[in-house]
Amino acid sequence: MAAATKVLNLQKNIVCQTGKHTASVIFLHGSGDTGEGVSSWIQDLMGNGMVFSHIRTVFPTAPPRPYTPMMGHKSTVWFDRHRISPDVPDHMESVDYMCEHLNRLIEEEVKSGIPRERILLGGFSMGGAMAMQVAYRHHPSVAGVAALSAFLNNDSVVYKAVREANGSLPELFLCQGGKDPLVVPEWVKQTHRTMDSLGVPCQFHFFPQMYHEMCAQELELLRTWILKKLPS
């Protein structure tokens, strides 16, 4: 008999809507960061540009766990990686563990009165990869998925889920910097090509001078896309 999964109460940084709450964005930080950290980063780049009249944005924080690319030292990461490369399998134990807890976070939004079709998932770097895992494997009815400077492994279980899906799938909004020293641009381009070939509606935006970071132009495009997917 499988042991029960320990229930985590994920810490969250919440940016409230200015009016009636009718939609939600859940945005996941990159490795070693926090919800508060990525929220502040976005605010530094855009001011109040990511504050909406009707959309609440939730920035959860991953619990610390041993991270193999850091020689097993603990870090706030959504899952473990065998190494930072697309030619390894997904680390399924850690991915599925966190999917379960992020599923609960989505259910909290649903219980508050927000339909899944009015929830959008996104993230930066590892957070974007985690958002793709959660959405395409567990919540294909969400409004959309944003993955900034993020990639899927070549044999990711996400691709298997997409191949086996019945019905339409949420649009994928991908962005990548041409000078990223951590996430090789070709890895993101391959993720885009594969998802597109499997029938996932995609947008891909490439910023030749951007490193492993977010930029204001990218976030302006993201804001426009969010409002298209989650109109008031």
Catalytic residues: 125, 180, 212
Rounded-to-10 torsion of CA 207, 208, 212, 213: -40
Bridge partners of 148, per DSSP, are: 124, 175
Closest alpha carbon to 218 in 152, 172, 184, 173: 173
Q: How many CA atoms lie within 13 A of 174 on its CB side?
A: 26
The single-letter code of the amino acid at 69 is P
| R_g (Cα) of the chain, nearest Å | 16
Is the dihedral angle over the CA atoms 105, 109, 110, 115 positive or is it negative? negative
Please state, in angstroms and rounded to a whole number, the distance separating the CA atoms of residues 46 and 223.
10
Find the largest Cα–Cα distance for the chain: 52
- In this structure, what token pair is assigned to residue 76? 């706030």
